[in-house]
Amino acid sequence: MGKPVPHRIDGRISYHDSVQEMYEKRLVPDGMSNVFDRFDPQDKIRCNFCEAGVSCQLCSNGPCRISEKAGANLGTCGITPDAMAMRDMLLRNVMGTSTYTHHAFEAFSTLRSTAQGKTPFKITDKDKLYFMCEKLGIETSGDINKDAEKLANYFIAELSNDYQEPSRVIQAFAPKARQKVWQDLAIFPAGVLHEIKDATASCLTNVDGDYISLARKALRLGIACIYGAQLPLEMCQDILFGTPMPHEVDMDLGVMDPDYVNIVFNGHEPWMGIATIYEAKKPDWQEKAKQIGAKGIRVIGSIETGQEILQRFEMDEVFTGHIGNWLAIEPLLATGTVDVFAMDENCSPPYLAPYAEKYKVTLVSVNDLVRIPLVDKNLDYKPPEAEEMAKKLLEWGLANFSVRKEQVKPYVPQKKTKAIAGFSTEAVLKALGGKLDPLLEVIKAGKVKGVVAIVNCTTLKNGPHDWMTVNLVKELVKRDILVIAGGCGCHGLEVAGMCNMDALQYAGKGLREVCTGLGIPPVLPFGTCTDTGRISMLVTAIADALGVDSSQLPVAVSAPEWMEQKATIDGLFALAYGLYTHLSPIPPVTGGTELAKLLTQDLEGLTGGKVALGDDPTEVAQSIAEHINKKRSELGL
């Protein structure tokens, strides 16, 4: 018998029937190279050294591999396996932090340009603007545009702060007890650009070969990423487009209708999706669509960009839903319903041109980071150009529609799921009547045992698409644990039906009673991976209300299908924040035995957080529940 294929269970490559149907009925019959089939040969040739984190290609003395059997106990330079694995992890986290910081700079620039009257956007949440100014000690004049510009400039400057000026964002939003822990451990960070610079420079050959030092830099980078990039950028997006509040939305591939001009936005930044929604609502554009035989123009969300829009916008005649996470992109394009697939920042796979040719899709990059082979339509986002870029996307959509309708027979799985999206700290407080006391009371009474944040990507390394994520969440809610979701895993849970009231059938008696009373599902979509910062605000509010440190709470974090560098930096923040952090699949650190011990055991005595591993959803849920019950006992609950 050959090696078992991890991402296929009883012939299924996805938890979702829609993706499975597209794979069986469209991708395979059409002979399309796809992510599910491309995984198979790679799984046969993967290197154990790389999986253990003990391989290095950073200098010409390499590639080096560490193997006691071969007598190679150190790299050529003398680096230990622990430092080699930790250096590789730090470099991954530099990439993740850099991408978040790119998003943050775009958010701050968009807020500033909007305040200057140069974009199609407006200041929507004035209360959030003045809340942020007050928290950060920024003097205001009462002129909303001048004050918004001042806040934007403040955040831009904060990106580059050095250690001489401690972050006021951390001082305002991190638990006070946690700030002292970070200072005592020398991981209280400078500005995120400063931390990226120092972390990257430390990873050069023969610079930092101490795995403890590298781990400390990674933790510092994680804190800087949350408070320098993620939390401020989400606050700016709230100011521009509104703070998320619960509302019902449509999910899955069934939202696609081939009779419309369909513009799909994929990536992590919402600017162009929202600008195009605004433009497409103008009657002239809808009339142009009808003149060429379409029913109208629609905008649809994909992965994080779609979720950013979904969190803040109600469904209407133009914005009509969300298709899912990144492993649904190829199935989406194969439906033959997409006219423009607009890509920003990240999570746009490089092998999309053959899909564009086969199913007549116009691929467009709308971000300076994104370049796809054989795609020559590149509109690099600049805030003052947003409206003109939106018009160009609509023109391309109209031009594509006739070609697609003439040459492609559509195939759309009739699968559509309701989800309740739009949760935030403010939304939770509103549901609780304005204060956290009702939530704290049901936690104290044991009706809700604790809270778990699921913040992850989606991967094929530990099972079919979204398999681990959905099944773990079912096990958690069964144990009366409330789940907060962010990232690609959030979209997967929404598509799987875990974010609507019907999902209460999976919940334990106590959680079901509480959720029924509040009118909320057992899984609360908090948005994207970027909303890790927003989730930390809720956890901080709970810690402050109880008068304890975050590490003492009956709270845990899980990334049950982490895939890439943005997920790992979120995990490092959770460890710095003092939380039990489950990861699956196993990260590439096991070749460093002392490093693995630091992450899974010793770190708990320093920050209060630790890494937990496991690929079986039932066993992982039980371990998380045991941790939560331990924290409850220590608090006397």
Contact indicator for 448, 479 with CB cutoff of 8 Å: no
- Give the span between the Cα atoms of 313 and 322, in whole angstroms: 12
Structure tokens at 263: 């513009």
Contact indicator for 245, 310 with CB cutoff of 8 Å: no
- Give the span between the Cα atoms of 505 and 494, in whole angstroms: 15
* pLDDT tens profile 47-69: 899 999 999 999 999 999 999 88
* pLDDT tens profile 563-576: 999 999 999 999 99
Average pLDDT, whole number, for the chain? 96
Structure tokens at 547: 């008068």
Angle between the N-to-C axes of helices 126-136 and 231-241, in degrees from 0 to 180, rounded to the nearest 10? 150
Contact indicator for 512, 504 with CB cutoff of 8 Å: yes
Angle made by CA atoms 559, 562, 566, in degrees to the nearest 5: 100
Structure tokens at 31: 């002979």
| Residue among 484, 515, 483 nearest 501 (CA) | 515
What is the full DSSP assignment across 487-530? EHHHHHHHHTTTTSGGGGGGS-HHHHHHHHHHT--SEEEEESGG
pTM, rounded to two decimals? 0.96
Give the three-state DSSP class for 250: strand
The runs of H, that is alpha helices, within 248-347 are 271-280, 283-291, 303-312, 329-334
pLDDT value of position 264: 98
- Give the span between the Cα atoms of 398 and 410, in whole angstroms: 17
| Residue among 489, 499, 476 nearest 555 (CA) | 476
* pLDDT tens profile 91-109: 999 999 999 999 999 999 9
Q: Residue range 415-428: average pLDDT?
A: 96
Structure tokens at 177: 């007890």
Structure tokens at 87: 């250096």
What is the DSSP-derived secondary structure letter of residue 214?
H
Q: Put the strands of the sheet holding 261-266 in their side by side order.
A: 362-365, 340-343, 261-266, 297-302, 319-322, 247-251, 417-421
Give the three-state DSSP class for 224: helix
What is the DSSP-derived secondary structure letter of residue 381?
-
Specify the DSSP element, H or E, that contains 439: helix 437-444
| Residue among 360, 349, 357 nearest 325 (CA) | 349
Give the three-state DSSP class for 483: strand
Contact indicator for 79, 211 with CB cutoff of 8 Å: no
Sign for the pseudo-dihedral over CA of 299, 17, 623, 508:
positive
* pLDDT tens profile 289-341: 999 999 999 999 999 999 999 999 999 999 999 999 999 999 999 999 999 99
- Give the span between the Cα atoms of 392 and 385, in whole angstroms: 11
- Give the span between the Cα atoms of 440 and 61, in whole angstroms: 57
* pLDDT tens profile 163-179: 988 899 999 999 989 99
Sign for the pseudo-dihedral over CA of 236, 317, 485, 272:
negative
Q: Residue range 245-259: average pLDDT?
A: 98
pLDDT value of position 511: 98
Strands 610-613 and 580-583, sheet pairing: parallel
pLDDT higher than 70, residue 619: yes
| Residue among 418, 401, 364 nearest 258 (CA) | 401
Number of CB atoms found within 10 A of residue 618's CB: 13
Q: Which residues pair with 456 in a beta bridge?
A: 487
Structure tokens at 477: 């809610």
| Location of structure tokens 């890439």 | 564
pLDDT higher than 60, residue 2: no
| Location of structure tokens 């929604």 | 277
